[in-house]
Amino acid sequence: MGHARLLVPGENIRMLFSAPEYCAPEIHHHDLVTTATDMWSVGVMAYALLSGLNPFAAESTTKMIENISNCEYVFDSEAFKDISLEAMDFVDRLLVKDRKLRMTAHEALEHPWLKMKIEHVSKKVIKTLRHRRYYQTLVKKTDTIVSSARIAYGGTFKNQRGLAVGKVKIGTEYHGLRTGPVMHGSAEEVRPVLVCRGRAVSWRSAVCLCVSLGFFFSSPASQAGRQQTDVPQPKPTAAAAEKDDPPSWSRVSLSTLV
């Protein structure tokens, strides 16, 4: 199985790695890890395959780990100029510092980028010069090939130069409220905007969540109320205010350009 492991909540394990950019912030912080930790690695791989670049590149490993810990990365304008907005959104939803808010494997498979019809997929060939350079930097980090299975089960690794050890504890899976898809859009000035679609959440929870994310939102019901200002609206009762039923809206829009 190589480095693959069964995740047993509460178990303490050690993880060996030579490319810190593929390890999620919780590994570098010796925090709890779950299957969401692997989804971070998927995001880094997607970024690297699309661009041939390390999303957290820095002049030193220490600075790189700092970038990872703060989730600081950008889509290089030259490397991503021909990459679709759906592809960048896919990466955005995986490279999330809070593991509870990352896409799950199931959500990733349902993402619009992977569900795109073949006739809509670009046939333009990706330039691979950056990919070859990036590959060479990874190859140079280790000069000895040993059994990864032996390493995974606690065997010797003293001959592997450049390896680091992350001591972590297995956490439990999170099944609570998460944000909807955060999709890149485009404005008239060709600057990206964000759109958040809230689904199957309570109105109060959605309000708190979207406000915390900086979203400006309105429901169809409130829009209709503004359009019919001549019609007196009954004041909500305390009992009605306490109801936690989800509203009829399903879309939340961010009006701030980023």
Are 166 and 218 contained in the same domain? no
User: What local confidence, expressed as pLDDT, does residue 107 receive?
Assistant: 93
Number of H helices, E strands in the chain: 10, 6
Please tell me whether residues 33 and 155 are part of one structural domain. Answer: yes
Mean pLDDT of the chain: 66
Same structural domain for residues 160 and 190?
A: no
Q: Kindly tell me if the per-residue pLDDT of 130 is higher than 80.
A: yes
Q: Do 218 and 156 share a domain, yes or no?
A: no
Same domain? For 137 and 192 the reply is no
**Shared domain check, 201 and 91:** no
For residue 208, what are its two tokens? 């708190």
Q: Please check whether residues 33 and 125 belong to one and the same domain.
A: yes
In terms of domains, do 190 and 160 share one? Answer: no
Last residue of one domain, picked from the residues 170, 198, 230: 170
Provide the token pair at 175.
């099944």
Using the 3D structure, point to which of 137, 170, 203 is the last residue of a domain.
Answer: 170
Tell which of 118, 139, 170 closes a domain: 170
pLDDT digits (tens, 9 = 90+) for 84-105: 999 999 999 999 999 889 999 9
Dihedral through CA 15, CA 68, CA 108, CA 120, nearest 10? Answer: -130
189 or 106: which carries more pLDDT confidence?
106
Tens-digit pLDDT profile for residues 51-66 = 999 999 888 888 999 9
Are 16 and 44 in the same domain?
yes
What does each C-alpha distance from 45 to 19, 31, 131, 171, 210 come to in angstroms?
A: 12, 22, 11, 23, 29
- Looking at per-residue pLDDT, the higher value among 248 and 43 belongs to 43
pLDDT grade, residue 166 (50/70/90)?
Answer: low
Contact 49, 71 (CB under 8 A): no
Q: Is residue 61 part of a domain?
A: yes
Tokens of 106: 């199931």
Number of folded domains that form the chain = 2
Q: State the residue range of the domain holding 206.
A: 182-253
| pTM of the shown model | 0.57
Which pLDDT value is given to residue 75? 93
Amino acid code (one letter) for 182: V
Q: Sorting pLDDT into bands at 50, 70 and 90, what band is 253? A: very low
